[in-house]
Amino acid sequence: MIFHNLVGLYWAVLGDQRERSERMRQHTLDLIPTERTELERARDRDPRPYLRERASAMLQIADGRSARQVARHGLYKPRKPETVCRWLAAYRAHGLAGLQQRPRGHRGFSPSRRTGTRRDPASATGGLRARAAPLASD
């Protein structure tokens, strides 16, 4: 009975290690020379700081560092490992374009900017007043 429990425990631990190593293998990156050159150029010369950081992370992963190491110690600011893994998945799917931020939704203009009028809270006409016309010079 004790032997059976020890064997079960051994296989449970071994199975966990296998799963962990499988997950770790997913977070590697093999680059061809043109991809490496493209990432190095983005890391060194792109005007967008976020893209330089992401390109740097991809190069470090390609050089053999784990996503966790890169996230915690390899960037200007510590990141969550999940964030670096998300960048890696985006790079695998879409290349350098996958590392670029997507545009956010447009919020529109406030009503006072759209109509060209200003609000006057003391006015009895609902708070809107027309802008004064420029004075004519004689």
Q: What is the pLDDT of residue 107?
A: 73
pLDDT of res. 84? 97
Give the chain's domain count.
1
Query: Alpha-carbon distance 102 to 52, whole Å?
Result: 16
47 inside domain: yes
Question: Quick check: is 73 in a domain?
Answer: yes
Residue located via tokens 């560092």:
65
Residues 52-62 have pLDDT tens digits of 999 999 999 99
Domain of 92, in residue numbers: 32-101
Average pLDDT, integer, range 9-13 = 58
Residues paired with residue 119 on neighbouring β-strands, in sequence order: 128
The answer to whether 67 and 84 have CB atoms below 8 angstroms apart is yes
**Whole-prediction pTM value?**
0.60
Judged against a pLDDT cut of 90, whether residue 10 lies above it is answered with: no
pLDDT at 116 over 90: no
In a domain, 54, yes or no: yes
Compute the average pLDDT of residues 74-84: 95
Residue 122: per-residue pLDDT: 60
Is residue 27 assigned to a domain? Answer: no
In a domain? residue 134: no
Q: Quick one: pLDDT at residue 13?
A: 58
Q: Is the pLDDT of residue 69 over 90?
A: yes
Helix (H, G, I), strand (E, B) or coil at 126: coil
CA distances from 57 to 17, 43, 54, 95, 116 (A): 26, 9, 5, 14, 47
What is the mean predicted confidence (pLDDT) over 91-101?
96
Which position has the higher pLDDT, 48 or 138? 48
- Report whether 81 contacts 72 (CB < 8 A): yes
Tokens 């200003």 sit at which residue? 118
| Range in 19-23, 67-71, 112-116 the model is least confident about | 19-23
Domain-embedded: residue 119: no
Domain presence at residue 19: no
Asked, for residue 25, whether it belongs to a domain, the answer is no
